[in-house]
Structure 1
Amino acid sequence: MTAAPTTGAAAAAGQNTPTPKTTHPCDADVHNWADPATESQRIEFWERAAGLLDWEAPWHTTHTWSPADPQAKRGPQISWFSGGTLNASVNCVDRHVAAGRGERTALHFEGEPGDRAEVTYADLQDRVNRAANALESLGIGPGDRVVIYLPVLVETIVITLACARIGAVHQLVFGGFSAEALRFRIEDTGAKLLVTTDGQFRRGKAVPVKANADEAVSGDNSIEHVLVIRRTGSDIRWVSDDLNGDGLGRDLWWHEVVDTASAEHTPEFFDAEHPLFIMYTSGTTGKPKGLVHTTGGYLTGTLFSYLRLFAHPDPTKRDADVHWCTADLAWVTAHTYEIYGPLAAGATQVIYEGVPNVPHPGRHFEIIDRHRVTSYYTAPTLVRSLMGWFPDGVPEHYDLRSIRLAGTVGEAVNPEAASWLRSQIGRDTHDDDGNPTLPLVDTWWQSESGSTVLSPRPETTRFKPGSVAGAMPGWEVAVVNDAGAPTAPGVQGNIVITKSGPSMARTVWGNPERFYTSYWQDYAQQGWFLAGDGAQYDAEDDIWILGRIDDAINVSGHLLSTIEIESALISHPDVVEAGVAGVSDPTTGQAAVAFTVLSAAAAERTAEDAEAESGLNEELRAHVGQVIGPVAKPRAVIAVPEVPKTRSGKIMRRLLAQIHDGEPLGDTTSLQNEPCVAQITEICRARGTMSPAPTPATTPATTPTP
């Protein structure tokens, strides 16, 4: 099928679409923009949002969409702002300096050991220019791939923006990933350059990193240079072999190549559909998928959604905004709301290198206090950890009055965590009746969407803890059954994106067929994107996310939400976190097994007392039965030190089921806490759960086991 262009009025009349001009994004009153109600309004809305960026040349066609092709197993062909040219780095740095905002702080850096740095936009421009010149001196140009294997450092943002400045495609890898996970990404992207450190500070220690990098590039790949930042002073192996005949060794020091480069650099401008970065998703089956995001559309969705969700609604008060997204820079949340979104808006933000409980559990509160953070965007899993570390609430000596808004991302926030976040982080924002009034944007989106799809609006006064409310402007979603029919309120269905924004991924790197089979195949006829999450409407048409579709548990014909059971467990004072998985059961077909992370007091109480442990487990089963109903009682409750999570904070429930039943494990290298897999495996082995899964009964029982 041929592409169908969707354009503004000027293009429809046969003219080039003029690039809309607006004021600086810091002054854009996006909170008062009307939500589009028709398709033409939706296109005009995104044209207006794109006008928040600086374009070197205007686009001629706003949007084209060619439907998925089931016969060719090809996903839809998507483009936005075709013909327009821009530079992501210029939009994030140069234009703010040119607007006289060069002395504004861009980054408050906090290192885990306690070192700090303040980086202005003028300083950031100087650093990015040097890095761009260094990249070009190493033979990196437009379209070349650069893998960045770094912790949260100023240099991580600098090299990311330098890649964007010269048109290189960046791929950030979490600094705690294994050599094997890094190797896959290097080989899959065909990267020419790897950027890494000698070591990184993690949990109070200097952890070697370069050895992983050396192992990852030891195979068959296209790496020509490894650029190394001196961070910890760790002893490292050095390779001086000249791999590409440029007279330079494979390994090069950052301070010798980047810091000595010229601070003057002339940017090149790229087509809106030029690839900006590759983002790998993680999973327990199959290889990670490398999602490709392009420049113009991604920046448009990123900048608008940052301003709409996190910037002060009054543009005259945004100079006081200090944003903190706590994600690691390798996660898509950080790309959108820690790199490109805030920097394109000219905002001030915090970046923190380490874990939240080093050297003490109040480190985040200390940082909020010191930098007067106004928006705090984090994962529900971190909130639950804070709840466990501070069962009596946040100590009064931390001044949190600057907090204006909180946000969550990664998984649907359970009501207990949402209430704690609003009442403790936002303890200074209560109404006359003592109810928390801190706005909470519980955002739902994915690596694939590139920016937020569903979220409560920050100005609303009606929050439902655990509900992601409705679609952001310019996006449309639905909750449907397998046949594509809308589900009734209270009935679980599949959440689909029926109209996507411009930040949507375009394909899977090197595997377009997988882009089709993973996301578009199930609803190809309708042209809908299958997100992979279960959801339901409530009576007021607000949406509630119920976890991954393949995480739902069917117990004797009852479809149970893992997140609902986990929320019930977490509401018990002895449970800090829980992961619930569906495992084989000879009577009911499937059964729920709960893996719980206990509070320090409960862990100490049950550590050496089998009777106390058994009693608590039965108490937790009964508690779930009381909160949800007897059908939801876990068959077993197993205490573990951690539950396995992706870098986005999603609990890998299928992996828990595989461990429990003794099945072969899929890919675990992308987990943020991979060592816990061996620990949980040993616990399940000791409990005898890892025997071969039994064959389900021919006729499942109609009532659950008590």
Structure 2
Amino acid sequence: MPERDVAEGLVPWAAVADQLDWDKPWTTLYADDGRYGRWFAGGTFNLAVNCVDRHLPERGEHVAISWEGEPGDRRTLTYRQLHDEVVALAGALRTLGVCVGDRVALHMGWLPETVVAMLACARIGAVHTVLPTPLPAEALAERLEDFGPRVLFTQDGAWRHGTILPLKARADEALGAVGGIEHTVVVRRTGVNVAWYEGDRWLHDLVAGTRPGGTAPDTDPVPVDAEHPTLACHLVNRRSRPVSVLHGAATLAASALAMHRTALAEGDVFWCAGDVSWVGAQAHGVYGPLLAGSSAVMFEGTLDVPTRHRTWDIVRRYGVTTLVTTPTVIRLLRGWSRRPPEPDVVASLRRVVMIAEPVDSPLTAWLAEDVGRGEITVADGWGQVQLGGVVSVDVPIDADALPDPGFAIVDADGAELPDGATGELVMRLPWAGTLRDMEGAGAEDVAKRHWHRAGSYSTYDLARRKPDGTLEFLGRLDEVASVSGQLVSLGEVRQVLLDHPFVVAAEVVERADSQLGRSLAAAVVLASDVAADQSVARDLLDAVRDVLGGLARPRALVFVDRFGDELSADVLRRTLGLLTAGVGEEPLHLTWQQILAAAPAIDSHRSR
């Protein structure tokens, strides 16, 4: 092994890197070179080989993926079966002309085929992105135009909440506005009839010729530079200025494996219950468990179909030992349950980690005491898309082996604050999962937000350090919501509404949405001479779409007679979020007194 350069403070990353298989060993762990630094210099690596091939000698018959569809169908893939699927598709992609550095878009939900496509791209050095299935055609076209793929994967249709989303039809509509895509590969999932055009191919036909008995294409894995991009993820669209982040093959692998083994996973059966288009679900629901040789559980659709007991059924059926999901999902489970699941249902479950949103103590107590009866560890994780997923967990598996991000809480001038004070969270040590590049018209603006202080990464998140030394994460400085994997600034939506001549006051909140998972709702006070009707509502919402894009357009609008000052901003947002949860295209009319009357009940429900 060549002599290696490992900087002080980064030794845990070297230990993680040594758990990976390298085609050519790295010589310098990290160099402070450029805005993002340089990781694993001199090393070459293949992510698919590390996720699948290297496990074959000892774990070939071990279950890699346990999957079930929303209608109840199920599939299990061992590591050997997963390897065969990945190799076949990698060869098929090469027959389509896909080469190292080419781009492949995956407009698919949580299917085994989605994971196979991700790994097949990694095997041949192609870059993939996963596009959310609920995206309307207009937003899908924008994403495809930004990403520029040669090949698009989609499904005939996708099951979601008991209905079939017409994915192929939406893709066809989007492709009418986008050039450069040479092939559309379609997964036969629901059996619905679809239109067929030149360049369309069924996935099962495409891979048929690469299986035993067919013509053997080149299926050998490609060693790529450690920072070679493997995954692109749409981050934000600020006033029609899109931004996407690119993650490197070995850097994302190191981060995912480090967090899986030292912070997230207890036991061998791991389930990340989140949308596969989210980088956290890919890093921790796919790459982390597969890099570790564990079993990953995956599901299609939503957790309340066919019944609201589906989450607990999956835990019992597959013997899930660790569940990672969002506080929103856990709150839904609590609301759906008249009583906690029986002990035998969650007997395998040892650990629940909540990520992506602030966590409140009553929710933690419900999981630990009512569900777990003292047998389940409940943890709170924090991370960002820019950092490759989760970075910190308040109750880690192995704190000594967990890499240190060098957290500090600072004021607006960058001065470190004492314990208990609220400020911006910064990271003063390099993190391997950090993005390797950004693309899009707004990329430089986003970069300046995070890298404006020498020697540190500004998270733009608020936090404070508690007396026991742990961090309490308090949300974003700029109030953003994730809608179909895109960050939308609530402040920007609010400002567009306030700029409209009809509006004198506005509030924008995030709410649960049965189709998108999360979406926006707006409440406005109109000028006295403006009628609060459907045409005005449409005009306001279309104004947001025209300025900020389709995903920023609120999917619910409330006309309010006035806003008072009796409620804190936090209580007002929670109240509006719950009052608009079932509101559709028809605007809702509320008085301020009705909002005040609802607020105590909503706040009481939250604290239970």
TM range, smaller chain: 0.7 to 0.9
Q: Which residue number in structure 1 is paired with residue 45 of structure 2?
A: 86
Secondary structure of the structure 2 residue equivalent to 1:42:
coil
Work out which of the residue numbers 336, 347, 357 in structure 2 matches 1:401.
Answer: 347
In structure 2, give the amino acid aligned to 1:267: P
How far has the Cα of 1:531 moved from its partner? 1.5
In structure 2, give the amino acid aligned to 1:367: I
* Match status 1:496 vs 2:426: yes
Normalised by the length of structure 1, the TM-score is: 0.69
1:670/1:594 CA distance change after superposition, 3 Å: closer
1:283/1:380 CA distance change after superposition, 3 Å: farther
* Match status 1:506 vs 2:404: no
Secondary structure of the structure 2 residue equivalent to 1:491:
coil
Q: Distance in 1 between matches of 2:27 and 2:400?
A: 32
Say if 1:519 and 1:530, in contact at 8 Å, map to a contact too. no
How far has the Cα of 1:657 moved from its partner? 5.5
1:480/1:645 CA distance change after superposition, 3 Å: farther
Q: Distance in 1 between matches of 2:440 and 2:379?
A: 35
Count residues with an aligned counterpart: 533
Say if 1:194 and 1:225, in contact at 8 Å, map to a contact too. yes
* Match status 1:63 vs 2:30: yes
* Match status 1:380 vs 2:327: yes
How far has the Cα of 1:516 moved from its partner? 4.2
Say if 2:184 and 2:201, in contact at 8 Å, map to a contact too. yes
Work out which of the residue numbers 417, 423, 434 in structure 1 matches 2:369.
Answer: 423
1:64/1:422 CA distance change after superposition, 3 Å: same
* Match status 1:262 vs 2:208: no
Q: Which residue number in structure 2 is paired with residue 476 of structure 1?
A: 406
Q: Cα RMSD between the aligned structures?
A: 3.3
Q: Deviations over 1:331-370 (max 9, x none)?
A: 1111111111111111112100020111110001011111
Q: Distance in 2 between matches of 1:495 and 1:135?
A: 42
Secondary structure of the structure 2 residue equivalent to 1:146:
strand
Q: Distance in 2 between matches of 1:156 and 1:669?
A: 25
How far has the Cα of 1:595 moved from its partner? 6.6
Q: Which residue number in structure 2 is paired with residue 97 of structure 1?
A: 56
Q: Which residue number in structure 1 is paired with residue 228 of structure 2?
A: 274
How far has the Cα of 1:420 moved from its partner? 1.6
Q: Distance in 1 between matches of 2:350 and 2:410?
A: 36
Say if 2:144 and 2:178, in contact at 8 Å, map to a contact too. no
How far has the Cα of 1:77 moved from its partner? 4.0
How far has the Cα of 1:490 moved from its partner? 3.3
1:509/1:235 CA distance change after superposition, 3 Å: same
* Match status 1:305 vs 2:271: no
1:387/1:103 CA distance change after superposition, 3 Å: same
Q: Distance in 2 between matches of 1:359 and 1:47?
A: 45
Q: Distance in 1 between matches of 2:241 and 2:147?
A: 13
Report sequence identity in percent.
Answer: 33
Q: Deviations over 1:671-698 (max 9, x none)?
A: 8x97456975867663379xxxxxxxxx
Secondary structure of the structure 2 residue equivalent to 1:377:
strand
Secondary structure of the structure 1 residue equivalent to 2:146:
helix
Q: Distance in 1 between matches of 2:243 and 2:400?
A: 28
How far has the Cα of 1:388 moved from its partner? 1.2
Secondary structure of the structure 2 residue equivalent to 1:406:
strand
* Match status 1:251 vs 2:200: yes
Q: Distance in 1 between matches of 2:585 and 2:515?
A: 21
1:136/1:670 CA distance change after superposition, 3 Å: farther
Q: Which residue number in structure 1 is paired with residue 306 of structure 2?
A: 359
1:348/1:187 CA distance change after superposition, 3 Å: same
Q: Distance in 2 between matches of 1:518 and 1:455?
A: 25
1:104-115 equivalences in 2 (<5 Å): 104-115=62-73
Q: Which residue number in structure 2 is paired with residue 21 of structure 1?
A: none
How far has the Cα of 1:259 moved from its partner? 3.6
1:677/1:411 CA distance change after superposition, 3 Å: farther
How far has the Cα of 1:78 moved from its partner? 2.0
Say if 1:668 and 1:674, in contact at 8 Å, map to a contact too. no
How far has the Cα of 1:473 moved from its partner? 2.0
1:495/1:119 CA distance change after superposition, 3 Å: same
Q: Which residue number in structure 2 is paired with residue 51 of structure 1?
A: 18
Look at both structures and tell me which one has the larger radius of gyration over its CA atoms: 1
1:644-683 equivalences in 2 (<5 Å): 656=521, 664-665=543-544, 667=548, 669-670=550-551, 675-676=555-556
Secondary structure of the structure 2 residue equivalent to 1:355:
coil
In structure 2, give the amino acid aligned to 1:17: R
1:522/1:88 CA distance change after superposition, 3 Å: closer
Q: Deviations over 1:455-510 (max 9, x none)?
A: 113459xxxxxxxx999523112111110012233332111222231110022125
1:549/1:42 CA distance change after superposition, 3 Å: same
* Match status 1:531 vs 2:459: yes
Give the unaligned 5+ runs of structure 1.
1-9, 19-38, 68-75, 241-249, 313-317, 431-436, 461-468, 553-561, 563-578, 597-641, 690-706
Q: Which residue number in structure 2 is paired with residue 703 of structure 1?
A: none
Secondary structure of the structure 1 residue equivalent to 2:37:
strand
Q: Distance in 2 between matches of 1:293 and 1:448?
A: 8
Secondary structure of the structure 1 residue equivalent to 2:385:
coil
Q: Distance in 2 between matches of 1:172 and 1:677?
A: 30
Q: Distance in 1 between matches of 2:36 and 2:261?
A: 28
Q: Which residue number in structure 1 is paired with residue 535 of structure 2?
A: none
Q: Which residue number in structure 1 is paired with residue 272 of structure 2?
A: 325
1:212/1:479 CA distance change after superposition, 3 Å: same
* Match status 1:410 vs 2:356: yes
Q: Distance in 1 between matches of 2:391 and 2:276?
A: 20
Q: Distance in 1 between matches of 2:321 and 2:418?
A: 38
Q: Which residue number in structure 2 is paired with residue 17 of structure 1?
A: 4
Q: Which residue number in structure 2 is paired with residue 184 of structure 1?
A: 142
Q: Which residue number in structure 1 is paired with residue 605 of structure 2?
A: none
